[in-house]
Every structure is written in structure tokens, then in C-alpha cells.
Amino acid sequence: MSYNIEKIRSEFPILSRSIEGKPLVYLDNTATSQTPRRVVDAVVSGYCDFKANVHRGVHTLSQKATELQEESRRRVRDYIGASSEEEIIFTRGATEAINLVACSFGSLFPRNGEIILTVMEHHANIVPWQLLQSRRPDLKIKVVDINDRGELLLDQYRDLFNENTCMASFCHVSNVLGTVNPVKEMIGYARSKSVPVLVDGAQAVPHMRVDVTDLDCDFYVFSSHKMYGPTGIGVLYGKKEHLLRMPPYQGGGEMISHVSFEGTTFAGLPFKFEAGTPDFVGIGALPKALDFMDEIGVENIAAHELELMEYAEEKMREIPGMRIFGNSPHKSAVVSFLVGDIHHYDMGMLLDKLGVEVRTGHHCAQPLMQRLGISGTVRASFAAYNTLGEVDSFISALRRIIPILS
């Protein structure tokens, strides 16, 4: 199939706008991707045609809203290869999903349990475990390091396991280095030690086919807004055997079976973990984002993005003083870099003046920055709708601003 970039771009209204009088070149896709018209239309329709609270009414609108939400759950189940919709919990994002697991599943950890993380984690996969540790000072966090290419030290990973290890939690793809971790192998090793695994797939699901049954992970999390979907929703996949044992994370409406002052019983899965009114409009629109990805084929999207990244990296390496962080052969379409001693913030500001939107700073990965001995990077990241022409604009903008900042 040929990659019809013009057709793809025509679905994204924002791509025709300009910044500072220059055509927008949006290269901040790792932070959030743009949204195709069909998703926006589904959100508008959710508000204009179907808005009523879910699971609470006998009336037509409530039933339709509920149907859209539950249809979305089944679609997500199929999209990630889960075996039951009871294993799909809607959250506010990957962050909330990890907090849910750390709080609820973490409350079941044995005394002196040890949690294995990696140095390349987003704060979302560090701080929830630290919060748990602040309530449970007996728990220990151990961290896997990386090599010079930005790949995990797998020998060290294996060596960190012992009889106290109660959890391993790591990203599928690094949001800074782009490294695609060998998660299947890592899960397999944890499984051989009977240690449950959470995979943070926030940067994986937008770029590759993920099958949680094939991976055999215990938990998998991701965010809709990074994969062409609405903001404010995310997914927690959890194995049913764990979810059944886990206590509720938040209390309120929707997650109960019966409430009295003498005691409360909880709803079944997945509702036990969905207290309060969810973003049912956004959830109802999420399948449109999956349709968008399916129509192109996520493998085709990834191949296109990698072509852009390789082209960008080749051009960037010709620039004197260029340092690219993350050089694994297994890499997703993210380029983090610095040039000479130019501050990442200054570079981001000037790129913006030329219409190029990149992210600067620590990318919510301060421990990784510390490991790399830097305060931050400039990060360009690619999505389905980016073009080689945009890479050229980015490179020529870089070449224009570097002499000004040097």
C-alpha cells in the first residue's frame, strides 16, 4: 500500500495553521499527537447528540452513551488482544493507570518487597512507586541502568531479581531515548521468577501493534491523547486474576454494588476501578482514533516515522557539535539532542519562532537526565502526518539558529 500522506494530513485541521507566520511543523508528538477530524467529530457528536450519564439511566440517551462507552471498551480489548473487557479499565491516562496499580496492587506486596524500575522511566512510572514506599518504608526500589546507546543492561536487570522481588515495572519505549525495550524477553524472565510486570506502553501503542496476551504482562498502560485520541483518558489492562484480588483505588458512584453505613460491597470488573463519572464522551470517541490507525496500518505508520527519523538523524549528524541521545538500533521515532553548549530552552524558543514545535527540558525523566549528566534536551518526535519536507524545514531552522545561539 502506498502511504498517502496528503490524505492523512487532510484529516488534521490543525496542520494547516501557521505559527509566527510560518507553516506549522509539529514535532512534539511524543508529548501529545494531533487529533484527526473524525475523532473531533465523534467528541462533538457525543456532546451534541448523546450526552447523558452512563450506566445510570433507563432513558434513551443514557443507554446510547453507555453503549458507546462499552463498545469502546470492547474495541480496546480487541485492539490490544486482551481476553476480556473486564480487564480493560478506563483511567485519566497512563499516569493514573500506574498510580492505580501502585496504590491497589502495591497494597498487597509482601513485607520487604522489592520493586524493579529502570533509569529511563517517565516520572509517571517512578513517583507512584515512591508514594507507595512512603507509606510502606519496608519496600525497596531497585533501578536498572543503561549503556551508552541508551539500552537497558539486561544482565543487570536479571541480577536485580531475588526472593524479595515483588514487581517489575518498565517502559516499552523510552520517551526520551526512543529505545524499544525487549519487553517480551524481560517479561519472560520475570515470569520465570513469578514476579508480576507492569509495562508502561504510553510511547509504544501509538507506534506498534501490542498484544498483551502474547506479551503475557500482568499490567499494560497507555494514554489516548498520544495515539490520535481524545485527551484525558487512558487505559489500564490488568490480568483478571490480579484485578479480582486488588482493592478499589477510589471510592464513589459506579464502583459499588451496595452501600450502607454498616458496610459497602463493590461492583464487579471493570467497574470496581472506575469510581465516579468517567469521560464517557472521550471514551466513546476513542475507537475513531483506532480506526484511523487501523486504516493506515500501525506498521505503515511506524515505517513512515522511522524513515523520517533516519533522514533527520542523518542530516543532524552533519551539524558540528551535535549530540544525539539514544542510539539503539531498536528505536522509535524520537530524536533527543543537544548542540555544543546551547541551552535546550533557547533552542526550543527560536525553533518556535520559525514555526517548528519541539519539546525542551527534562521530559519528565529527571533521573535519566541525571544519568546522562545533562539538565535536558531538545526532542523532535514524529507521527503519521509528518513529512520529509517538514524534516527539511526543521533542519534548516536548526542551521539558522545555531550560529545565533553559539
Q: Which residues bind ligand PLP (CB under 6 A)?
A: 31, 93-95, 122, 124-125, 171, 175, 200, 202-203, 223, 234
* Phi/psi of residue 352, nearest 5 degrees: -60, -40
Smaller CB distance to ligand PLP: residue 72 or 224?
224
Q: Where are the beta strands (DSSP E) in 160-285?
A: 165-171, 197-200, 219-223, 234-238, 256-260, 263-266
388's grid cell: 520529509
Is the CB of 236 or the CB of 339 nearer to ligand PLP?
236
Q: How far apart, in whole angstroms, are the C-alpha atoms of residue 198 and residue 186? A: 11
Closest approach of Cβ 403 to ligand PLP, in Å?
32
Cα separation of 343 and 280, whole Å?
42
Cβ closest to ligand PLP, residue 127 vs residue 306: 127
Enter the C-alpha cell of residue 71. 463498545
Residues 98/122, Cβ–Cβ less than 8 Å: no
Q: Taking Cα atoms as reference points, which of 113, 200, 201, 120 lies closest to residue 161?
A: 113
Q: For the chain, how big is the Rg over CA atoms in Å?
A: 22
Return the number of the residue (175 or 328) whose C-beta is nearest ligand PLP: 175
Backbone angles phi, psi at 26, to 5 degrees: -95, 110
In angstroms, give the least distance from the CB of 336 to ligand PLP. Answer: 12
User: Catalytic site residue 48?
Assistant: no
Residue 202 or 391 with smaller CB distance to ligand PLP: 202
Q: Work out how close the CB of 277 gets to ligand PLP at its nearest, in angstroms, rounded to a whole number.
A: 19
Name the closest residue to ligand PLP (Cβ): 93
* Amino acid identity for residue 399 in this structure: R
Residue 89's H or E segment, with its range, is strand 88-91
Residue matched to cell numbers 451496595 = 258
Q: Judged by CB, which is closer to ligand PLP: 50, or 228? A: 228
Nearest to 375 by CA among 358, 360, 362, 359: 362
Instruction: Fill in the DSSP letter of residue 333.
Output: S
- Secondary structure (DSSP) of 152-190: B-HHHHHHH--TTEEEEEEESB-TTT-BB--HHHHHHHH
Q: Quick one: 86 or 200, whose CB is closer to ligand PLP?
A: 200
- SS3 call for 380: strand
Lookup: cell for 158: 536479571
We find the least distance from the C-beta atom of residue 231 to ligand PLP, in angstroms, to be: 8
Least distance (Å) from ligand PLP to the CB of residue 17?
23
Q: Which of 48, 166, 171, 364 is catalytic?
A: 364
Q: Kindly state the smallest distance separating residue 221's Cβ from ligand PLP, in Å.
A: 8
CB of 64 to ligand PLP, least distance (A): 28
C-beta of residue 235 within 8 angstroms of C-beta of residue 97: yes
Cis peptide before 196 (omega within 30 of 0): no
> Which of the residues are catalytic?
364
